[in-house]
Amino acid sequence: MKIVFMGTPDFSLNILQALIDSNYEVVGVVTQPDKLVGRKQIKTAPPVKKLANKYQIPVFQPEKIKQDYKQVLLWEPDLIITCAYGQIIPKILLETPPYKAINVHASLLPKYRGGAPIHQAIIDGCKTSGISIMYMSEKMDEGDIISQKAIEIDHKDNVLDLHKLLSQLGAKLLIEILPSIFNKTNERIEQNHLQATYAYNIKPINELIKWNKSGEDIYNQIRGLDPWPGAHTFLNGKRVKIYKSEEVTYIHKHKPGEIIRIDKDGILVATRNSTCIKVLEVQLEGKKRQLLKNVFNGKHPFAIGLKFE
């Protein structure tokens, strides 16, 4: 069976690697175009392209797959598998392969349809997440479910932790269910669209910490954006990114966002309730990401009584 794989970021790597290791014939890989990265704007290939090149698998990088898809048809795939590709796939690609097109999605659909299900599950304080493998439809993540598997989210997990777990789970589940797809014995369960929720791509407004929320909500937001893109706040008009934090019970009468205490390894910040946030790792403007205990070795902007905006 000839497979075309469509994916772009690190999350997709385990999926493609599992197909290769299981000796499936991946006849082509579709991924996003190379991008300019960093201050020096170095043209950088997506992670999936690098892996495909390693195994000498042909790579196709259209700017807009909806308009430029003929190369995929020329590969004559029996099945298209997508995982975090990043573009809407045209109907002709969904319907032409004999075994259609399936997607590996990092949530328990119909919950968290969209591009940031891992971030949103942590931000919302969810106790579980999982992988859904589904048939693709023209609408976003609305296709019939083939298989699902759930995992627990630890209260200390950040995006990277859950990202690794779900990527591994997705690869394992895909390899388990592929034989049933090819022999047409797989399940096909329609989603309950009335129960759908959405996890759209993270925008800058989602990264701003609102200190008048509960300490638990702020803690979940910080770990739900760690290590990328990072939650941020402002102190004396300058942006401070916060990556690592802890919840600390501390009954107080301070205003939300006020620095209550400075310890050797962090600062305690007031929230709306008695669950305060102990900030442990930050990135100041023009600086690298650092533990606060290292920031305190030099000049820093933090002082008791100052208030994050």
Whether pLDDT at 269 is above 90:
yes
Domain assignments of the chain as residue spans, ordered by start: 2-195, 205-295
Of 86, 55, 84, 89, which Cα lies nearest the Cα of 72? Answer: 89
Share of the chain above pLDDT 70, in %: 100
Report d(CA 138, CA 234) in Å as an integer: 41
Give the pLDDT confidence of 105-141 residue by residue, as tens digits. 999 999 999 999 999 999 999 999 999 999 999 999 9
Do residues 198 and 231 lie in contact, with contact meaning Cβ atoms separated by under 8 Å?
A: no
Residue 282 is encoded by which pair of tokens? 């930050």
List of residues 6+ apart from 226 with CB closer than 8 A: 158, 159, 160, 243, 244
Model pLDDT, residue 261: 97
pLDDT digits (tens, 9 = 90+) for 270-279: 999 999 999 9
Binned at pLDDT 50, 70 and 90, residue 38 comes out as confident
Which 8-state DSSP code applies to residue 208? B
Helix (H) or strand (E) holding 27: strand 25-30
Are 92 and 73 in contact, with CB atoms under 8 Å apart?
yes
Of the candidates 11, 19, 44, 5, the residue with the CA atom closest to the CA atom of residue 175: 19
The pLDDT assigned to 163 comes to 97
What's residue 76's pLDDT? 98
Q: What is the arithmetic mean of pLDDT over 222-247?
A: 97
pLDDT at 103 over 90: yes
CB 259 within 8 A of CB 302: yes
Pick the CATH number of 205-295 from 3.10.25.10, 3.10.180.10, 3.40.220.10, 3.90.1300.10: 3.10.25.10
Class assignment of domain 2-195? alpha beta
Q: Do domains 2-195 and 205-295 have the same CATH topology?
A: no
For residue 177, give the nearest of 22, 13, 55 by alpha carbon. 22
Phi, psi of 274 (to 5 degrees): -85, 0
Question: Which tokens belong to 199?
Answer: 């996890």
pTM of the predicted model, to two decimals?
A: 0.95
Tens of pLDDT, residue by residue over 146-193, are: 999 999 999 999 999 999 999 999 999 999 999 999 999 999 999 999
Per-chain mean pLDDT for the chain: 97
Calculate the CA 98 to chain-centre distance: 31
Q: Name the strand (E) or helix (H) holding 151.
A: strand 145-152
Structure tokens at 11: 């999350």
Residue entry with tokens 């989603």: 191
DSSP classification of residue 12: G
Q: Which two tokens stand for residue 168?
A: 């591994």
* Residue 248 pLDDT > 90: yes
Q: State the pLDDT at residue 39.
A: 80
Three-state SS for 17? helix
Q: Quick count: other Cβ atoms within 10 Å of Cβ 41?
A: 9
Statement: residue 70 has pLDDT above 90: yes
